[in-house]
């Protein structure tokens, strides 16, 4: 029996209020925080009773599994109870192909950017690390990709888009996503704006094109893993151990400084160009949404 069969039933006026985008946004955030908080509690119990802090990699792996599952389950239950639907944006039919495409895109774009920085004599390789040292970067990349995409694209962007329309929602969700990183090590206003205008915009546009979360999740994972887990560069200001012993040297505009290549002018340029391509496709396919007040005006 689908979860939508258990959707909340209210009188017509109550259903109109319940389904209003801003009301749903508040409820979705409450569901998300509740389930994610429960995941943190479950993880702490497992650590305290079973691991007792002796296995940091296993600690991180269990946290990733629990928090990712709780984010997905919480979102799935919210969609069923409040929106009365099964979340097609998490359809298993598209999981492998679209996630794989996102992973490849993340690898390709970060490799291109690191290559451009290297050509500008800002990135150097001094050797290799043991492959197992990449595990922390892999674990955190998967966790960030799933949890952050469900929140920023599945909840924030998708619901706000129904009220503000596609273009304003892209801007708003991108700014929220970018400034979620303002508390990261070595973060600045520019680094947060850079993340907003690169990953924040691109991931939202890819959701608009596919209407699925798998490509954004895959790209998010591939971006972080390639940057930190392969090239050993800082990921959003956080140092990472990668397969390559890489180091960044040179002007901040080229390397991104201590925050890493995400704050590089080259990253901004590459993804702004890619964004133009995606916007052209969305306009050509007419897959964008008008603001709610515009739709109501047109109907009248």
pLDDT at 53: 58
State how far the Cα of 112 lies from the Cα of 200, in Å rounded to an integer.
Answer: 19
pTM for this entry: 0.94
Q: How many CB atoms lie under 10 A from the CB of residue 298?
A: 8
The pLDDT value recorded for residue 247 is 94
Among candidates 59, 265, 20, which has minimal Cα distance to 143? 59
Using CA atoms, how far apart are residues 40 and 249, in angstroms rounded to an integer? 38
pLDDT in tens, 55-95: 788 889 999 999 999 999 999 999 999 999 999 999 999 99
pLDDT reported for residue 220: 98
Spans of the chain, pLDDT less than 50: 297, 300
Q: Give me the residue spans of the domains in the chain.
A: 1-86, 91-299
Which pLDDT score is estimated for 3? 72
> CA 207 to CA 217: how far, in whole Å?
10
Residue with token string 């515009």: 294
Report the pLDDT value the prediction gives residue 10, as an integer from 0 to 100.
83
Query: What distance in Å separates the CA atoms of residue 198 and residue 167, rounded to the nearest whole number?
Result: 15
């Amino acid at each position: 029996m689908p979860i939508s069969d258990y959707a909340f039933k209210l009188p017509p006026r109550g259903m109109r209020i319940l389904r209003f985008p801003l009301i749903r946004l508040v409820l979705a955030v409450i569901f998300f925080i509740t389930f994610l908080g429960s995941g943190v509690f479950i993880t702490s119990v497992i650590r305290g009773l079973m691991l007792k802090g002796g296995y940091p990699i296993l600690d991180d792996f269990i946290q990733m599994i629990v928090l990712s599952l709780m984010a997905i389950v919480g979102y799935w239950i919210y969609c069923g109870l409040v929106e009365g639907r099964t979340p097609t944006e998490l359809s298993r039919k598209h999981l492998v192909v679209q996630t794989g495409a996102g992973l490849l895109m993340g690898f390709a774009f970060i490799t291109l950017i690191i290559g451009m920085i290297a050509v500008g004599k800002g990135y150097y390789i001094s050797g290799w690390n043991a492959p197992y040292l990449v595990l922390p970067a892999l674990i955190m990349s998967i966790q960030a990709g799933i949890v952050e995409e469900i929140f920023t694209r599945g909840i924030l962007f998708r619901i706000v888009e129904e009220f503000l329309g596609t273009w304003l929602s892209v801007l708003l969700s991108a700014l929220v996503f970018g400034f979620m990183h303002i508390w990261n090590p070595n973060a600045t206003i520019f680094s947060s704006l850079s993340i907003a205008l690169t990953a924040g915009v691109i991931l939202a546009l890819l959701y608009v094109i596919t209407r699925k979360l798998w490509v954004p999740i895959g790209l998010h994972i591939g971006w972080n893993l390639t940057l930190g887990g392969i090239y050993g560069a800082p990921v959003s200001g956080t140092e990472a151990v990668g397969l390559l012993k890489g180091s960044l040297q040179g002007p901040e505009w080229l390397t991104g400084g201590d925050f890493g290549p995400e704050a590089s002018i080259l990253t901004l340029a590459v993804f702004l160009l890619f964004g133009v391509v995606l916007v052209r496709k969305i306009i050509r396919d007419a897959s964008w949404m008008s603001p709610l007040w515009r739709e109501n005006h047109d109907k009248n």
